[in-house]
A and B are shown apart, each in its own frame.
Chain A
Amino acid sequence: MKVKIKTNLWSGIVMGAFSIIMLLLLPTQVRVPAYDSGAPSPRIIPAICLVGMLICAAALIIQSLVFKKEKEFEFDWAVEKPCILMILMLCVYTAMIIYLGFVIASVVIFPLMLFYCGERKPPIYIFTVAAAVGIFFLFKFVFHVSLPAIPFLGG
């Protein structure tokens, strides 16, 4: 499946919509302090950014629709699928680190990733598991950072 994406037009639409939504949310998301400290409003920098982004988004849409200046991106599912899957795996990895600890998450996710990449020989799996344990202890004893872990695994 291949889809051609007009990047200027879509950047304009997505970022324009984002800026408008954020501008509408600005009064509720950034409250003005009750007392005057003499400092400028905390809304000013975000507001300048959002208005600037809106102008850029409008410029991109005009570039695409009026001046026909466009850069197309071909989204080929066959090529992008591994990318998207890897990102999903890393999201799961993040959740697993938080709830199950660094070592368990690494020991589960990376072998799965390697299997998906087509690796079938045991040494690479052994190396990866050893690396996970090694990095955990490297951070614990050399850098004095205790990575997330459940109690019986160094936590």
Chain B
Amino acid sequence: MGDIQMIIQAVGMVFSPLNIAMIFGGLVLGMIVGCIPGLSVTLGIILLLPLTYSFPSADTAIIALLAVYVGGMYGGSISAITLNTPGTNSAIATTFDGYPLAKQGKVKKALDTSLFASTFGGLFSAVLLLVCASFITKLVANFASVEYFSMAILGISLIAGVSGDSLPKGVLSGLLGILIASIGMDAITGVTRFSFGLDTLKFGVDMLPAMIALIALTQVVQKLRDFVVSHGKLDDANKIDNEGLTLKEMKAITPACTRSSAIASILGAMPGVGGGVAQFMCYNECRRASKHPEMFGKGSLEGIAAAESSNNAVVGSAMIPLLTLGIPGDGVTALLLGAFILHGIQPGPTMFTKQGVIAYSIILGCLVANLFLYPIGMLLTRAVAKIIQVRYTYLAPVIIMFCFAGAFAATGNTKELVLVAAILVFSYVLVVLDISSTPLMLGMILADIMEMNFVTSMMSYDRDYLIFFKRPISCVILILTVILVISMIRINKKVEALNKAQLEEMQKEHEETGKPSEEPREKGTDWAGLEKLDEAAEKPVESPADKPK
């Protein structure tokens, strides 16, 4: 079946009433979890994941999860604008201009700009994904198990190399993830590994309880901790007015959106570079190219547009390596890879030949979710913004109950609950040791693919352990892994230095204006350690124009 035929079939699937309803629900859930500081898109995806088991088809499940991702990226800007606290780490740069504009009483204008830019960025990268996906998969169509094993090594090395400050800790965490995934019965030989005679470990550690404990529950516990430490104090949110974005202003910010979307799409396609990193580079670049760079940091619409189109552009482009090569680019796409596997879809080149219609319906679903973001955002932003003001103690028990119920629902066995509790305790130890859980999670997700392809290769090539270096493509991938890890670490360090310089410059400008900065809230453990999400969400960003006297 040709690509065009598959796309036509996929269009029919995406526009089914159920899928449209799922996109709607996913976007709203994403906006809600995205806008609550301390919670993140990953939490939204994990909350929805167990429920997707009851969905009739895998593509509906993945489309719903993607809609959460898209909605969450926009949702992060709502609290960034109204509270000066980014809902997700991808919305830090939004506070630079969003909050100053909100302080001028133009909250609706700031939110509309953010929504327009988010939609623009999302659509830009979704179209790019649609165009590139088929092309890339054709390039890698001849991969065999040896190459897939090497690709899995590439994926895990990149994430381990670039997440967190320390390479040894990243690699250690990734290996720990593979080790945890190896617990239980080996699928090929039937031998039980590291079960210590416990029934709970006999059938292995499932992905879902691990994800729930490592990501969702850690975030909720951390947020509750902050609630107790701050005695339940809530920040004052700005009220939303009625003056929206005009057509003229839309035209004026379009160049900034385009520039930012283009840069973010390239960055997003690189494994290890998420929206958090892309936003600063895009913001800087748009400021440099702007006709009014002096307005940046004081409520510039271009500034908001640059930051917001960048983080939504990352969504689509991060899907490029995930769908075509099976390599997740960051924590969220790693989770999505987990979701794909749980639903029996194997992302990678074969996906476009064996499950082409599903692949295209997922891509089109991403496109439609971005398209729907605008009207849904216009309709519901006001209502979603009110959720920020709901006491967290109302939300936390419900989220925890969903987490436990979801973990149980995965297999219907109470051993999952024991695993959730055990991994939660283990996760706290990792945090105290400052070991990021992202590589661990990725290791767990990729372990099965790695081991399956490793065993297949060994059986096909008579246990020739050097086959991974003898097959030219595999050898190139492994060499590329080393080169990429080294260069990505360097790039990441440079980008971090750039971001730091940018923040310092902003603070300096802010000090010159003589306005007081907000005291950061009391900071404890950076619990989730996931993409540094919580670090960002935990304290209000000292933006160039903080609260006036």
A interface residues with partner B (beta carbon < 8 Å): 5, 7-8, 10-11, 14-15, 22, 25, 29-33, 37-40, 42, 45-46, 49-50, 52-53, 56-57, 59-60, 63, 71, 73, 75-76, 78-80, 82-84, 86-87, 90-91, 93-94, 97-98, 102, 106, 110, 113-114, 116-119, 124, 127-128, 131-132, 135-136, 139, 142-145, 147-148
Within 228-245 of B, Cβ neighbours of A (below 8 Å) are at 228-229, 231-232
Complex interface: chain B residues within 8 A of A78 (CB): 229
Min distance, Cβ A55 to any Cβ of chain B, angstroms: 8
Q: Does B433 contact A (CB under 8 A)?
A: yes
Q: Which residue of B lies closest to A32 (CB)?
A: B191
CA distance A45 to B186 in the complex (A): 11
Q: Which residue of B lies closest to A50 (CB)?
A: B179
CA distance A135 to B425 in the complex (A): 25
Main secondary structure on B side of the interface with A: helix
Residue of B221, B408, B459 touching A39 (CB-CB under 8 A): B459
10 pairs, A vs B, C-beta closer than 8 Å = A5-B432, A33-B190, A57-B172, A71-B166, A79-B522, A90-B217, A90-B421, A94-B420, A110-B397, A144-B54
Q: Which residue of A lies closest to B164 (CB)?
A: A71
- The answer to whether A30 and B191 have CB atoms under 8 Å apart is yes
- The answer to whether A79 and B225 have CB atoms under 8 Å apart is yes
Q: Evaluate whether A46 and B182 lie within 8 angstroms (CB atoms) in the complex, with A40-B455, A83-B525 already known.
A: yes
Query: For chains A and B in complex, what number of residue pairs have CB atoms within 8 angstroms?
Result: 213
Given known contacts A29-B196, A37-B189, what 10 new A-B pairs fall within 8 Å (CB)? Answer: A8-B169, A40-B454, A42-B189, A71-B166, A75-B432, A80-B525, A94-B420, A128-B397, A145-B408, A147-B409
- The answer to whether A83 and B175 have CB atoms under 8 Å apart is no
CA distance A108 to B240 in the complex (A): 39
User: How many residues on B have C-beta within 8 angstroms of the other chain's C-beta atoms?
Assistant: 74
- The answer to whether A135 and B175 have CB atoms under 8 Å apart is no
Complex interface: chain A residues within 8 A of B222 (CB): 83
Residue of A46, A80, A87, A131 touching B425 (CB-CB under 8 A): A87
Min distance, Cβ A122 to any Cβ of chain B, angstroms: 13
- The answer to whether B172 and A73 have CB atoms under 8 Å apart is no
Surface stretch bound by A, among B411-419, B479-487, B507-515: B411-419
Q: Does B224 contact A (CB under 8 A)?
A: yes
Complex interface: chain B residues within 8 A of A40 (CB): 454-455, 458-459, 463
Interface centre among A50, A86, A118, A144 (most CB of B within 10 A): A86
- The answer to whether A83 and B397 have CB atoms under 8 Å apart is no
Complex interface: chain B residues within 8 A of A5 (CB): 432-433
Complex interface: chain B residues within 8 A of A119 (CB): 232, 391, 393
Q: Evaluate whether A82 and B228 lie within 8 angstroms (CB atoms) in the complex, with A52-B171, A87-B428, A94-B404 already known.
A: yes
- The answer to whether A39 and B171 have CB atoms under 8 Å apart is no
Complex interface: chain A residues within 8 A of B402 (CB): 135
Q: Does B401 contact A (CB under 8 A)?
A: yes
Residue of B53, B165, B195, B429 touching A71 (CB-CB under 8 A): B165
- The answer to whether A124 and B391 have CB atoms under 8 Å apart is yes
* List of 10 A-B pairs having minimum Cβ-Cβ separation, nearest first: A79-B524, A7-B434, A56-B172, A94-B421, A82-B228, A110-B397, A56-B168, A49-B179, A145-B409, A59-B168
CA distance A136 to B405 in the complex (A): 8
Residue of A14, A91, A98, A148 touching B433 (CB-CB under 8 A): A14
- The answer to whether B169 and A84 have CB atoms under 8 Å apart is no
Q: Evaluate whether A11 and B433 lie within 8 angstroms (CB atoms) in the complex, with A45-B454, A94-B421, A143-B409 already known.
A: yes
CA distance A39 to B145 in the complex (A): 14
CA distance A145 to B178 in the complex (A): 30
Residue of B189, B193, B418, B451 touching A29 (CB-CB under 8 A): B193
- The answer to whether A148 and B414 have CB atoms under 8 Å apart is yes
Q: Does B373 contact A (CB under 8 A)?
A: no
Q: Evaluate whether A29 and B194 lie within 8 angstroms (CB atoms) in the complex, with A40-B454, A76-B524, A114-B397 already known.
A: yes
Complex interface: chain B residues within 8 A of A131 (CB): 397-398, 401
